[in-house]
Amino acid sequence: MKPLTKRLQTALDLLPACRLAADIGCDHGIAAEEIIFANRATDILKYTKKVLACDISAPSLEKAKARLTRAGLAAHAEFFCCDGLAKANEADGALLLGMGGRTIVEILQKGRSLLPQMRGLVAGPAGHAEALYRALPALGLRVEDERIVWENGRFFPLVLLVPGTQRPLLGAAEELGPVNCQRRDETTLRYAAWLCRVLEKTLRVPGASRTAAHQEEAAGRLACLHAFLEEER
């Protein structure tokens, strides 16, 4: 097996021990393969012997199935072409990587009845992380841990969510996450500065689809991030 990317390794490190892990949006099946391989390589199983590989795209699911078949691991996985958590009724852990924050929220809303049984869900919003953070109180999920990974010229926020009560997040915590704001490490500060540049560009370059409300929201988010960064000076 090739070495894992830093992003995927961090996501798997965040995922807690669980009986049945579901890889939602499994794409090529790299995460599912690693979970199965880790089980076979240790006497102490972190996960169950089977993994649920789920993707809404049939071609992507076939790629995952082919990958695990080549590795001799297909018998340790169940494959489902489905929307989100639709086939994850028995799962008590899940990965939701490589999709936008709004899409993750939609998946969690549709599968809300399953969330209380989860020991942990690791979400990796590829854009609009603030949408995920805002939705947590209504979903009955709270942030247990999180990381921001810098790899190949990109930032990848990763969030471990567990059932519980999350107070509404305020200020920069709604953008960066509460644990990251407390940690205030170099990567978090660089990520905050990058988000500032993105929002400044949004405000500077008008778009036909951007309403006055959208611009006002962007300005408010930018002000919160500037305040967070000013605390370091």
Q: What is the dihedral of CA 93, 95, 101, 106, to 10 degrees?
A: -60
pLDDT at 212: 82
What is the tens place of the pLDDT at every residue in 67-99? Answer: 999 988 888 899 999 999 999 999 999 999 999
Is the dihedral angle over the CA atoms 169, 154, 54, 49 positive or is it negative? negative
Q: State the distance between the two ends of the chain, measured CA to CA, in whole angstroms.
A: 45
Using DSSP's 3-state secondary structure scheme, residue 122 falls into strand
Query: For residue 155, how many other CB atoms are within 10 A of its CB?
Result: 18
What is the tens place of the pLDDT at every residue in 30-44? Answer: 888 888 766 544 444
Beta strands in 82-202 (DSSP E): 93-99, 120-125, 141-151, 154-163
**In the predicted model, what is the mean pLDDT of residues 141-149?**
97
pLDDT at 120: 95
HSE-up (13 A, CA, CB side) for residue 42: 12
Q: pTM for this structure?
A: 0.91
- Return the structure tokens found at 197: 């540049």
Rounded Cα distance between 35 and 47, Å, is 7
Helices 30-40 and 58-70, packing angle to 10 deg: 30
Q: What values do phi and psi take at 54, rounded to 5?
A: -125, 135
Nearest to 89 by CA among 105, 71, 112: 112
Tell me, which fold does domain 6-168 have in CATH? Rossmann fold (3.40.50)
Residue 207's pLDDT band (boundaries 50, 70, 90)? Answer: low
Nearest to 57 by CA among 74, 80, 76: 80
In the chain, domain spans: 6-168, 169-233
Residue 50's pLDDT band (boundaries 50, 70, 90)? Answer: confident
Rounded Cα distance between 82 and 97, Å, is 16
User: Does pLDDT of 188 surpass 90?
Assistant: yes
**In the predicted model, what is the mean pLDDT of residues 196-216?**
82
HSE-up (13 A, CA, CB side) for residue 8: 16
CA angle 85, 89, 94 (to 5 degrees): 50
Q: What values do phi and psi take at 83, rounded to 5?
A: -90, 115
What is the tens place of the pLDDT at every residue in 146-176? Answer: 999 999 999 999 999 999 999 999 999 999 9
